[in-house]
Amino acid sequence: MDDKLPVAVVMIARDEARRLPRSLGSVSGWVSELIVVTNDCADDTAGVAASFGATVSEHPFQNFRDQKAFALSLATQPWVLSLDADEAVTPELRGEIRDLIVSAPDTVSGAWLPRRLWFMGRWIRHGDNYPDRVLRLVRRDRARLADATIHERLEVTGLTVKFKNDLLHYSNESVARHLEKIGYYNDCFVREAALQGRKVWSLTVILRSGWRLFRAYFFRLGFLDGFLGLYLAITSAYATFSKYAMLIEHWRVPASAGKKANQ
């Protein structure tokens, strides 16, 4: 067996016992460190993670950004691969990771991985969902989590490269789950935007939503994915329209309710 790479895989997980074998199984045996941070699990997430040799830490959940920052702080290897429980590394991607770590000049601080989405029984290869590049492989001492608490992401100091091989993404198990996640992220967006005092014009909402639909379905060739391409383009536009509509509601409804109370 080849020597293990100087890589720490970091992951946060809650009630992911069923999906962990696929994700951890794709990296165990060739990375030097597995770190899984859990919170409030009702299943055996910790036990399954430990069975793959992971170091498991329980940590109170505040938001995704802080939870992932805590996981990153536990890593001790020079390189970190941030992985979600619904993702898996292919043998081809593993080889590309190995090649970079072995030969990368010191100026390279990270790599962007293309993600391929599995949805409703098939792979999505166009639209906004592919290649959906994410910065996941980073040098630990040059990496940090961006300040955004919604759609948290890694940042690095230094140059980055783009990988060719896909990170597999088994994100939404059903249409119902997909729509549920849109509602969750919309709620998070409105709370954060309201705290920042952010406002939006109605025309801007219409233009942004229309652009998301056009971009995903036509400009990025979502129509080549058939019905699923149309579904994902429409729901992308819907997510944009609904989150800004909720933000408009946040600023308008309290004011109108106050006026009625004083009448």
The answer to whether residues 192 and 139 belong to one domain is no
The answer to whether residues 152 and 251 belong to one domain is no
> 169, 196, 231 — which closes off a domain?
169
- Going by pLDDT thresholds of 50, 70 and 90, the confidence category of residue 260 is low
Over residues 237-258, the mean pLDDT reads 85
The answer to whether residue 262 sits within a structural domain is no
pTM: 0.90
Q: What is the structure's pLDDT at 148?
A: 74
Question: Which range marks the domain in which residue 211 is found?
Answer: 175-257
pLDDT for 58 beyond 90? yes
The answer to whether residue 143 sits within a structural domain is yes
Q: What pLDDT digit, counting tens, does each position of 189-229 carry? A: 999 899 899 999 999 999 999 999 999 999 999 999 999 99
Q: What is the structure's pLDDT at 1?
A: 43
The answer to whether residues 76 and 202 belong to one domain is no
Over residues 81-85, the mean pLDDT reads 98
The answer to whether residues 119 and 195 belong to one domain is no
pLDDT for 138 beyond 70? yes
Using CA atoms of 236, 239, 240, 245 in order, give the dihedral in degrees to the nearest 10. Answer: 160
- Percentage with pLDDT > 90 across the chain: 88
The answer to whether residue 122 sits within a structural domain is yes
The answer to whether residue 263 sits within a structural domain is no
The answer to whether residues 33 and 153 belong to one domain is yes
The answer to whether residues 51 and 152 belong to one domain is yes
CATH of the domain at 42: 3.90.550.10
Closest by Cα among 224, 217, 205, 5 to 102: 5
The answer to whether residues 126 and 228 belong to one domain is no
Q: What pLDDT digit, counting tens, does each position of 29-54 carry? A: 999 999 999 999 999 999 999 999 99
> 123, 139, 169 — which closes off a domain?
169
pLDDT for 261 beyond 80? no
Average model confidence (pLDDT) for the chain? 93
